[in-house]
Amino acid sequence: MHILVTNDDGVTAPGLLALAEEMRQLAEVSILAPDRNWSGGGHVKTLDRPLRIREVQLMDGVHAFASDGAPSDCVALALLGFIPEKIDLVVSGINPNANLGHDVTYSGTVTAAMEAVIWSIPAIAFSLDTQENHLGKLDYAPAAQIARKIVQTVSKHRLPAGILLNVNIPYRPLTEIKGVQITRQGMRVYRDRLDQRVDPRGRAYFWIGGDAPTGIPEKGTDFGALASGYVSITPLQLDLTAYPAQHLLNTWNWDESEALPEDSPWHDEYSQVDSKMR
């Protein structure tokens, strides 16, 4: 078995090294990861410039490759031939913060795993649910050990085609982790605020700031599992089609050409619920 290890925090991130070291106990490992932090970089395909790859030595003398592309570029580079051997599994992480609910399309950690699925290779994204106010060095060892056990289980059963796993691990000692729950995406509550400032030349610029997002710890969701001390495993697919909405839209007459009704809401309760929770 040959495992590709990548991440979105950059090739020198300690979470990647911890994950790679556990994977080396199971399989041959290649590392190809971004040369800088791409957290929140989303699913990227770099088309407008060439991509460079250089060899690097990580701590403990581990050999790795670093690219100036996004996490998803790194996976594409490896699977399209930069790594000549056949890759059986792509693992991404360990990200220092959880990737839950709507985070998955922002997350470089998760979108790296999505890229693998595009090339028909199974993939798992690993993130650690660290408290937002955590200070100092993180201990990735318990999460890396859990990652190894999850990879062992996955390799025994094989993932269905087109499915990736989004794994989030509580930041606790192993003895305080209660087990694994298979979950669905929960509801992230973003608390972003736009901060407008003025640059030294008098022009406006913007930061998307605000408080760290929270989430609704509903039972059965990724948030719920972490809140009750379990590892959350959410199976994801790239088919984002909203099937119930497809049915609804088919009941509409798409040839109507009447004037727009005044003061008519453009969306139904779902979006209103969404904004009420902010």
Rounded Cα–Cα distance for residues 73 and 32 (Å): 10
86: tokens are 């056949």
Stretch that binds Mn ion, among 65-73, 92-100, 129-137, 169-177 (CB under 5 A): 92-100
Name the residue among 160, 164, 155 with its Cα closest to residue 105: 164
| Buried b / exposed e along 7-16 (16+ C-beta atoms within 10 A) | bbbbbbbbbb
Nearer to Mn ion, 115 or 158 (CB): 115
Nearer to Mn ion, 39 or 111 (CB): 39
User: Is residue 129 involved in binding Mn ion (CB under 5 A)?
Assistant: no
User: Is residue 111 involved in binding Mn ion (CB under 5 A)?
Assistant: no
Burial-class residue 29 by CB neighbours within 10 Å (0-12, 13-18, 19+): buried
Query: Quick check: 234 and 113 in contact, CB under 8 A?
Result: no
User: Is residue 22 involved in binding Mn ion (CB under 5 A)?
Assistant: no
Smallest gap from Cβ 9 to Mn ion, in A, equals 4
Nearer to Mn ion, 9 or 73 (CB): 9
Smallest gap from Cβ 261 to Mn ion, in A, equals 45
User: Is residue 39 involved in binding Mn ion (CB under 5 A)?
Assistant: yes
User: Is residue 9 involved in binding Mn ion (CB under 5 A)?
Assistant: yes
Parallel, antiparallel, or unpaired for β 204-215 and 188-198? antiparallel
Burial-class residue 83 by CB neighbours within 10 Å (0-12, 13-18, 19+): middle
State the virtual CA torsion across 159, 160, 164, 170 in degrees, nearest 10. -50
Smallest gap from Cβ 129 to Mn ion, in A, equals 13
Selected binder of Mn ion within 6, 95, 183, 232 (CB under 5 A): 95
Of all residues in the shown chain, the one whose CB is closest to Mn ion is 39
Smallest gap from Cβ 140 to Mn ion, in A, equals 13
Stretch that binds Mn ion, among 88-96, 233-241, 253-261, 264-272 (CB under 5 A): 88-96
Name the residue among 217, 234, 193, 271 with its Cα closest to residue 107: 234
User: Is residue 8 involved in binding Mn ion (CB under 5 A)?
Assistant: yes
Which residues contact Mn ion (rule: CB under 5 A)? Answer: 8-9, 39, 95
